[in-house]
Amino acid sequence: MSDCGSFPRRMKPTTDLDPPLKLDRPDPMQVATWARLSPEQKLEIGRQLRQDVLSLKRAWVREQNPHISEKIIEARLRAWQLYGRTDLD
């Protein structure tokens, strides 16, 4: 048995103190490409990512709640952005 309590050795829980996995590091080519972008280009990429995330979340809320109106869907998206949750209760 491992020294990680009830977790098998391969399922060791991680902590904030664990070093990042090698796969979590950006590729050097990505870093170089990002460094060459202007601030305006970086801002546009961030804006587009935000729009993409909101579109995906909107589609998910609509799929999970086909009976609710677009007004309620938009209210849930605002709640998700402000409070990190889509329920309005």
The closest of 47, 46, 51, 80 to 64, measured between CA atoms, is 80
Q: Is residue 12 part of a domain?
A: no
Tell me the one-letter amino acid at 60: W
Could you give the number of structural domains in the chain?
1
* pLDDT for the residue 84: 81
Q: Look at residue 89 in the predicted model and tell me its pLDDT.
A: 55
Residue range of the domain that includes 49: 45-89
Domain contains 67: yes
DSSP 10-58: GGPPP-TTSPPPGGGSPPHHHHHHHHHS-HHHHHHHHHHHHHHHHHHHH
Tell me the pLDDT tens digit for each residue of 43-88.
999 999 999 999 999 999 999 999 999 999 999 999 888 888 766 6
Q: Binning pLDDT at 50, 70 and 90, where does residue 1 land? A: very low
In a domain, 73, yes or no: yes
Alpha carbons 55 and 14: distance in angstroms, whole number: 32
Is residue 54, in this structure, part of any structural domain at all? yes
Helix (H) or strand (E) holding 78: helix 70-83
**4-50 residue pLDDT tens:** 555 455 656 666 666 666 667 888 999 999 999 999 999 999 999 99
In a domain, 35, yes or no: no
What integer pLDDT is reported at residue 14 of this predicted model?
Answer: 61
Give the separation between CA 75 and CA 82, rounded to whole angstroms: 11
